[in-house]
Amino acid sequence: MGHGVLMTAIEFKPDRGAYIRAHAWMAAIGMGGAMAVLWFMDSPHIWTGAVGGLAAIALRGWYMASEELAVVWTLTQETLSGPAGRSVPVSQIEAVKTMGSYVQVVTKGGDKHLIKYQADPAATQNAIERAKA
């Protein structure tokens, strides 16, 4: 096996646990934000912001789960390909960064792609970095 050469394709699939954790953080932020807005409005029912924020994110998470958890990115020695026909030649990848459970791929042309809800974002980043080396 050569240096930095992938012999087979690697798939990056979303992790359900990472998806749930991301939505838990969004819910916490949404709850706090909604409560802050009601507090600034001098509402006597600040607690309803927590309920509304939680309900909004829970509904979004439930509604989007089947779509978000079906997104698969595939890495070969030539390309990184993803949903909706996205395809990035490995030679055009400028940077790979992690942000929580997301891995951001930035091309030399400035395009940005997110590989979301990775169980081990550092491993995803390392695999892409090895392919481009």
pLDDT digits (tens, 9 = 90+) for 86-125: 999 999 999 999 999 999 999 999 999 999 999 999 999 9
pLDDT digits (tens, 9 = 90+) for 2-43: 455 545 899 999 999 999 999 999 999 999 999 999 999 999
Task: Return d(Cα 107, Cα 132) in angstroms, integer.
Answer: 12
Residues 132, 91 contacting (CB under 8 angstroms): yes
Residues 124, 74 contacting (CB under 8 angstroms): no
Residue 113 phi, psi (nearest 5): -130, 140
Task: Supply the pTM of this predicted model.
Answer: 0.78
In the DSSP assignment, the letter for residue 54 is: H
